[in-house]
Structure 1
Amino acid sequence: MLSPFEWMIAKRYLWPGRGEAFIALVAGISVGVVALSVALLVVVMSVMNGFRGELLDKITGLNGHAVVQGYDGKIADWQPLMAQIEATPGVTSASPMIERPLLTSFGGRVEAIFLRGQTDEDLTGLGDKVLMGDIRSVSGGSGKVAIGSRLAQNLGIRVGDTITIINPQGRTTPFGTSIRQVGYEVGAIFEVGIYTFDEKFVMLPLKEAQTLLLMGDSVAQIEVTVTDPDKVGEILAPLADSLTGKAIIADWKAMNSALFEALQVERVAMFFALSFMVLVASFNILSSLVMLVRAKTRDIAIMRTMGATRRSMIKIFVTTGSTVGAIGTMTGLALGAVILFFREPIVGFIAFVTGQEIWDPEVRFLSTLPSRTDPWEVLGIVLLALGMSFLATLYPAFKAANTDPVQVLRYE
């Protein structure tokens, strides 16, 4: 705790006098550098967390947390297996699904697609992602499909148009295998927010997918959702032994391992690299305090002769430097919050000024710049900034405390 005397002197040193404008300038720069470093760390880590979180939510929202897939691409007796999966502790839901890479044509143009057959309940779950049309019109064997927004844009498809889905593995005839081509009306256009999904996916009811792919009553996969996505492996581990020889389990970590590992490595590397900005800011605090001690050497000597202790000198200068760091840290948090709130207009402005697309969905997977601020990470950034600011004050504070009044005032 500071005494009234120590606090008074610390406040006077926080606002140098008229003849010490250079020291005030250096102190102001220190505050600015701390604020910018903290704001940059908060913004970058929030965007990285948002990117991972949004990507995980969208991937698992469309694919579930895990899939149980037959070895030959088919699960014939899937109803008892799905009941067994649903009875597993930690599993919230299980649903049959068919997914196949096929081709679609419209207006003379052909595109590769991923055909997905789902139950009517799963299809209607896309309701909040539909841009045009009605997803309910697709369910119930109406002969309609739902397609991704990018696919519709690439082929110039609107709701009500008829597309042709081509299955190369058609029926076998005496003249060879005939390619199966079936026309479907587009009942809805959806946008998941992941570029690859919006560009490739075509959704239709499970029964119609079975008919198109000549699968009878079989399904290709069973989609599984669990209570805790991060523990999906542990939850489904008891089920893996009973599925040996019948099917395999692939969770979201295994299916997207390369992507999420790359994101984690990039996240750690960015935090480590940007932390050096906090170190630079602490050097600014160190330099400003060293100059302040040099400018106030005579004052320090006088205070020592009046009874001020070395401990008081240490507390005064530690408080001065730490306050500069605290002001910069709080300013940085506010600046980071403002940048994150206006991140989309900022990205648009930069793209407008530079003429370069900053956030390309084809590269970034997501259509918009995401952000998720982790309070514990923000706390860590604050502690890092305050800790480095405190350490930067120690050398000038001890230098001031060790000032010899006799040597300074000898010729006064």
Structure 2
Amino acid sequence: MILNRAERMLARRYLLPDKGEGFIFLVATISLIAVALGVAALIIVMSVMNGFRAELFDKIVGLNGHAVIQGYDGRLSNWQQIADQARKTPGVTSAIPMIEQPLMGTANGRFEGVIVRGMRPEDLRSNNTLNAHVVAGDLRTVTPGSNRVAVGSRLAETLGLYPGGQITLWNPDGRSTVVGTVPREVTYTVGAIFEIGVYDYDKAFVVLPIKDAQELLLMGDQVGMIEVQTTSPDKVQQILDPLRKAVQGRANVVDWRQMNSALFEALEVERVAMFVVLSLIVLVAVFNILSSLIMLVRAKTRDIAILRTMGASRRGMMKVFMTVGVTIGSLGIVLGIIIGAIFLYFRQGVVEAIQKLTGQNLWDPSVRFLTDLPAKPDPFEVTAIIVIALILSFLATVYPAYKAASTDPVQVLRYE
């Protein structure tokens, strides 16, 4: 809206309090703050939800790849041929053999269910998800024949482990004797402790060289699965369709969506639901703008009538009051962006401060999966929030502006 000099002066005057209009100014200020809080809440929640998805995806895919090729009985005997087929598939960047098996671990008189993962030394060294999150010890000491393993930080806390400590792994499929099957148990030295940031992994994972895992599980030269990385995780299904047909009858191809479908679908549903619910805050704030403008028009009826007799047009009066309402909404949006940015920057400190004040653990990683509160603002979503808030603010000004423009000077000034 382009305003002339007189209209800009009127809009500026109506934005500032006048004698006897303190209540109207108070309502307008509350409207501005409400818009700011609504926009800030939307930005914060959507950024946190995006952060959840991004962090979970990066860490889950960093350990499990974009897809895995699994044997029907949990073992792949001809894995070299299948791995070669996978590498030759267009769009596949790597195919890594590995073993993953749930077992029982014990240390210091404590028992805990663990997930044993066997990896080749070169794959272990090149895995950024593990190497970047070692909190104690040295992952380079975990080599074939060294009898060393790496364990998750939560598992280490539960079993009282530390670098140089020992953990015993139990394999129920041991050797057969005349009295039955005797479980196989092997004791390993802890070479490194890692903390990926996903509670379920840090609580259970024990990583060791694939040769040692094959000996522990009596698998010979077999592996449990082949981890596949692709050029595009969003197109993994289309990329692996030819491979799925090639290994049909010998193995099953499962992509990251299928492995974690319940988790990511729940996040998507919650993300949409939170956006809709929190948009209601902005809607309520917009109704506050509507009410403050209606009161302003009522208070300025005599002024509007005088301006109309002096030649002010209906269109001009509409532009003045629409400018007032949109300005309140715009200032609220700017303030909301600032509040949202500050909160996201200090989000972990805010969570810790609230925990200290309340004495409650608001971020239990056993419930929330991740150990820290993540955030990833999406410029497209932030833009959409701003546009929606602006549109709602504009719509809230239409009725009061129309009423102001419809003021009949004759009726208002009849008895003046």
TM-score (ref. length: structure 2): 0.98
Equivalent position of 1:99 in the other structure:
100
Match of 1:140, SS? Answer: coil
Alpha-carbon contact 2:17-2:25 (below 8 Å) kept: yes
- Note the 1:15-54 alignment, pairs <5 A: 15-54=16-55
Alpha-carbon contact 2:105-2:112 (below 8 Å) kept: yes
Aligned with 1:371 (options 360, 372, 375) = 375
Equivalent position of 1:352 in the other structure:
356
Kindly state the Cα deviation for residue 347 of structure 1 after the two structures are TM-superposed: 0.6
Equivalent position of 1:67 in the other structure:
68
Aligned with 1:391 (options 385, 388, 395) = 395
Alpha-carbon contact 1:101-1:115 (below 8 Å) kept: yes
Kindly state the Cα deviation for residue 270 of structure 1 after the two structures are TM-superposed: 0.7
Match of 1:177, SS? Answer: strand
Alpha-carbon distance in 2 for matches of 1:315, 1:119: 71
Q: State the AA in 1 paired with 2:391.
A: G
- Note the 1:126-205 alignment, pairs <5 A: 126-205=130-209
Kindly state the Cα deviation for residue 142 of structure 1 after the two structures are TM-superposed: 1.2
Aligned with 1:263 (options 267, 278, 282) = 267
Equivalent position of 2:223 in the other structure:
219
Match of 1:168, SS? Answer: strand
- Note the 1:200-349 alignment, pairs <5 A: 200-349=204-353
Kindly state the Cα deviation for residue 273 of structure 1 after the two structures are TM-superposed: 0.6
Q: State the AA in 2 paired with 1:230.
A: D
Aligned with 1:402 (options 391, 403, 406) = 406
Q: State the AA in 2 paired with 1:186.
A: V
Alpha-carbon distance in 1 for matches of 2:178, 2:246: 42
1:196-228: CA deviations, max 9, x gaps?
Answer: 100100000011111111111111100011121
**5+ residue gaps in structure 1?**
none
1:248-302: CA deviations, max 9, x gaps?
Answer: 0111110111111111111111111111101100000001100110111111111
Alpha-carbon distance in 1 for matches of 2:7, 2:122: 70
Alpha-carbon distance in 2 for matches of 1:351, 1:262: 26
Alpha-carbon distance in 2 for matches of 1:123, 1:207: 13
Match of 2:196, SS? Answer: coil
1:66-103: CA deviations, max 9, x gaps?
Answer: 10001111111111211110111111111001000101
**Superposed CA RMSD:** 0.9
Alpha-carbon distance in 2 for matches of 1:34, 1:112: 50
Alpha-carbon contact 1:123-1:139 (below 8 Å) kept: no
Match of 2:132, SS? Answer: helix
Match of 1:264, SS? Answer: helix
Match of 2:173, SS? Answer: coil
Alpha-carbon distance in 2 for matches of 1:210, 1:122: 16
Higher mean C-alpha displacement, 236-245 vs 391-400: 236-245
Match of 1:318, SS? Answer: helix
Is 1:76 paired with 2:77?
yes
Alpha-carbon distance in 2 for matches of 1:398, 1:121: 72
Is 1:380 paired with 2:384?
yes
Q: State the AA in 1 paired with 2:268.
A: Q
Alpha-carbon distance in 1 for matches of 2:207, 2:251: 24
Alpha-carbon contact 1:103-1:167 (below 8 Å) kept: yes
Alpha-carbon contact 2:144-2:212 (below 8 Å) kept: no
Alpha-carbon distance in 2 for matches of 1:380, 1:398: 27
Q: State the AA in 2 paired with 1:17.
A: D
Identity %: 60
Alpha-carbon distance in 2 for matches of 1:163, 1:25: 66
Match of 2:21, SS? Answer: helix
Alpha-carbon distance in 2 for matches of 1:377, 1:192: 28
Alpha-carbon distance in 2 for matches of 1:88, 1:380: 39
Kindly state the Cα deviation for residue 14 of structure 1 after the two structures are TM-superposed: 1.0
Kindly state the Cα deviation for residue 141 of structure 1 after the two structures are TM-superposed: 2.8
Equivalent position of 2:109 in the other structure:
108
Kindly state the Cα deviation for residue 396 of structure 1 after the two structures are TM-superposed: 0.2
Kindly state the Cα deviation for residue 4 of structure 1 after the two structures are TM-superposed: 1.5
Match of 2:174, SS? Answer: coil
Q: State the AA in 2 paired with 1:103.
A: M
Kindly state the Cα deviation for residue 121 of structure 1 after the two structures are TM-superposed: 2.2
Alpha-carbon contact 2:134-2:194 (below 8 Å) kept: yes
Alpha-carbon distance in 2 for matches of 1:351, 1:30: 31
Alpha-carbon distance in 2 for matches of 1:316, 1:246: 74
Kindly state the Cα deviation for residue 140 of structure 1 after the two structures are TM-superposed: 3.5
Alpha-carbon distance in 2 for matches of 1:122, 1:139: 11
Alpha-carbon distance in 2 for matches of 1:75, 1:129: 30
Alpha-carbon distance in 2 for matches of 1:92, 1:242: 18
Match of 2:42, SS? Answer: helix
Alpha-carbon distance in 2 for matches of 1:298, 1:278: 32
Alpha-carbon contact 1:58-1:194 (below 8 Å) kept: yes
**5+ residue gaps in structure 2?**
none
Alpha-carbon contact 2:174-2:181 (below 8 Å) kept: yes
Q: State the AA in 2 paired with 1:211.
A: E
Equivalent position of 2:56 in the other structure:
55
